[in-house]
Amino acid sequence: MNAAALDAQIIADKNAGLTPFWICSTHGTTSSGAFDPTPAIGLIAQRHNVWLHVDAAMHGIAALAPELRWVNDGLELADSYCTNPHKWMGVNFDCDLFWTSDRASLLGALSILPEYLRSAAAESGAAIDYRDWQIPLGRRFRSLKLWFAIRTDGTAVFQELIRRHVAITQELAALVAADSRFEVVAPFTLNLLCLRIIGESAENGDQLTDALIEAANATREVFFTRTVLNGRSVLRFSIGGRTTDHHHVMAAWELLKNLS
């Protein structure tokens, strides 16, 4: 997101009689792991009195490692925040951590209280009815698996997992850069590497990259997803599984080379 363009658009919308009310800043996009400039965006949101949500679904967990807490830069300016333990903490799908600075506004928008849902515990404040924090009435016990993961592993295990995957990604990026058939097409700060085959033309590179993804997945030894960056086909090499280790990644890289 371009902060200056955002500011100009909000001003233009206000001048047109519209009311901008919500901004979403992303910390680690799904396609490429890109980060929006939240410190600058946050100041704009405050100046215009617009709610700022930070979506760190993919990479917010990296903040468990102290040296990677830059992933949350600007978070002090946010009104709400989320990140997903099922993406990089070894917790089973689905599990989201959500924080808001103003739960009253959330509850005011989503709360319903027919007689059959009243309870003394909820009305006294002794219990929190999380049905009022979401659109569905029913809610699964998602927090139990997260509690078990935290109690079983602890911070040190999570930090080791994150650091190991970041280091492997850096090593993989160097190997890709050293192979003249491939190119890295986006910054790689954490555990996602975006790469593609260099073709005789951009279109040929797209065709070769798409064919490589299809061929690799057909082996059933790996599974890669495709995205489009700057109009070009890209292979997403995401390293985040709880049991994914160095030899798995190197084997996957060898497979890609052999199929290219």
pLDDT in tens, 231-241: 999 999 999 88
Q: Phi and psi (nearest 5°) for 54?
A: -105, 115
Q: Mean of the per-residue pLDDT values for the chain? A: 93
239 and 175 share one domain:
yes
Domain final position from 114, 133, 152: 152
Q: Which of 196, 95, 200, 207 is nearest to 149 (CA)?
A: 95
* Beta strand extents in the chain (DSSP E only): 22-26, 51-55, 80-83, 97-100, 182-184, 192-197, 225-229, 232-238
74 and 53 share one domain:
yes
Domain final position from 152, 170, 199: 152
Domains contained in the chain, number = 2
pLDDT in tens, 42-74: 999 999 999 999 999 989 999 999 999 999 999
Q: Which of 178, 143, 175, 181 is nearest to 253 (CA)?
A: 175
Domain final position from 105, 127, 152: 152
21 and 132 share one domain:
yes
- Flag whether pLDDT at 214 surpasses 80: yes
161 and 36 share one domain:
no
* Domain around 245: 155-259
Q: What integer pLDDT is reported at residue 218 of this predicted model?
A: 97
89 and 112 share one domain:
yes
- Flag whether pLDDT at 103 surpasses 80: yes
Type of residue numbered 231: G
Place of tokens 């997903």: 84
65 and 21 share one domain:
yes
- Flag whether pLDDT at 158 surpasses 80: yes
228 and 250 share one domain:
yes
* Beta strand extents in 130-211 (DSSP E only): 182-184, 192-197
Higher pLDDT, 28 or 119: 28
- Flag whether pLDDT at 18 surpasses 80: yes
- Flag whether pLDDT at 113 surpasses 90: no
Q: What integer pLDDT is reported at residue 171 of this predicted model?
A: 96
pLDDT in tens, 175-203: 999 999 999 999 888 999 999 999 999 99
